[in-house]
Chain A
Amino acid sequence: SQARSKGRGVRWFLVPLGILTGVGAVSYARDERAVVGPWHVHVISSLPLRAVSRLFGSFNSLTLPESLRKPGYHLYAWIFGCNLEEMEDPDLTHYPNLGEFFYRSLKPGARPMDDTSELVSPADGKVLHFGVVTHGQVEQVKGVTYELQALLGGSSNVPQPTGKEDNGDHDQQMAQSSHSANITSEEEFARINGIDYSLDRLIGEEEGHASAYGPRPGNQMYFCVIYLAPGDYHRFHSPVNWIVQTRRHFSGDLFSVSPWMAGLLKDLFVLNERVALLGRWKHGMFSMVPVGATNVGSIVIRFDKDLRTNIKQAYRHGQCTEVRYDQASWLSKGVVVPKGDEMGGFKLG
């Protein structure tokens, strides 16, 4: 009106130009995330999943009135099939909120280790898929693959550690706490379990090895994916005797990782927030990757108190921060983790 009163024409052409610019910017951002799937996957991907996850976590950390705890947790257990008899603390009123109940611990002896097996399950759940990694490709579900290097990261896409979580103080603390006390036991552990800890870096990290994570002659790479349903025990344990040398935290989306979604969304495990723990076992390279989801965006690693996942912070797809546990022990250059030891877990939100 002001422009018209002054005799100037309204520049209407700027309106569609502005809209087109906005659409272009959104498309660029979406392309960078590389969400590939049917239309309903794109609809889900447009939701603020990380914010929803954090809100869900905050809501479930509110303290419940004691009178509501028993019926509330019984209802949750009935809906999701939790086994309440194996809980370490069976008194439901002792769990102040659903978050605590979700992260419940089990009675000693509730999960016996199979001592005859080299590789045991790290978690309660359902085996989604397992097999051999061929040509650096891992099968998410039958016929849907993703790149191993994209899942675990490589030397080329891991920047120098940045931010609060990777300030190195933790490494220093670990070095101080475990430097001298465990030398004999670590040496013994590596000797008994056939781990060659003298190889201080992971396969493929040496210069000139573009295709990282290649097996040594006579070996091949295997994978196994275990899905934890909402009612399952949500802590994970060490599946083998190994030495964890590196942790890589990949910020990302928090899509559901249900079998339904795994069948729909290509690169689901590469898109989602995850923590890749890399190290060595008796046959060479070993890695364990807890992948977050909308309801469980918080991944906890017991020996890494500085790790913070699903934090309110802008990120670029594929962004990764790395911590090396070199200083945890000068001998093994990593954290010694025996088979069956609790390593961490998933928390709500």
Chain B
Amino acid sequence: STVVLIFEAPEQGFTFTLEPGQKVQVGQSLGH
């Protein structure tokens, strides 16, 4: 199963805090 997030955020200033292939858990930061 998969969860896809699509969202609008500021062009300047929004960054993902992720690496491709990274394992994540519920509540862990994806971006600021």
Contacts and interface: CB of A to CB of B under 8 A. Distances in A.
A290 B3 contact: yes
Interface residues of B, number: 30
A116 to B, nearest CB: 7
Interface string A86-126: 00000000000000000000000001111011111111111
A119 B29 CA distance: 6
Contact of B27 (A114, A219, A295): A114
> Which residue among B7, B14, B27 has the maximum number of chain A CB atoms within 10 Å of its CB?
B7
Given A120-B29, A127-B22, A222 B2 contact: no
Contact of A286 (B8, B12, B19, B32): B8
Interface string B1-32: 11111111111101011111111111111111
Contacts of B6: 133, 138, 148, 151-152, 213, 221-223, 285-287, 289
B3 A125 contact: yes
Interface string A205-226: 0000000010110111111111
B26 A223 contact: no
A296 B11 CA distance: 35
Given A117-B31, A119-B29, A119-B30, A126 B5 contact: no
A169 B7 CA distance: 30
B21 to A, nearest CB: 6
Interface stretch (A24-32, A37-45, A173-181, A231-239): A231-239
Contacts of B28: 114, 120-121
Interface of B: 1-12, 14, 16-32
12 contacts: A126-B23, A127-B19, A127-B22, A138-B4, A218-B11, A218-B12, A222-B5, A222-B16, A223-B4, A224-B16, A288-B5, A340-B26
Given A111-B27, A346-B1, 5 more contacts: A121-B24, A129-B20, A131-B16, A138-B6, A239-B5
Interface of A: 111-114, 116-131, 133, 138, 148, 151-152, 203, 213, 215-216, 218-228, 233-234, 236-237, 239-240, 257, 269, 274, 281, 283-293, 295-296, 340, 346
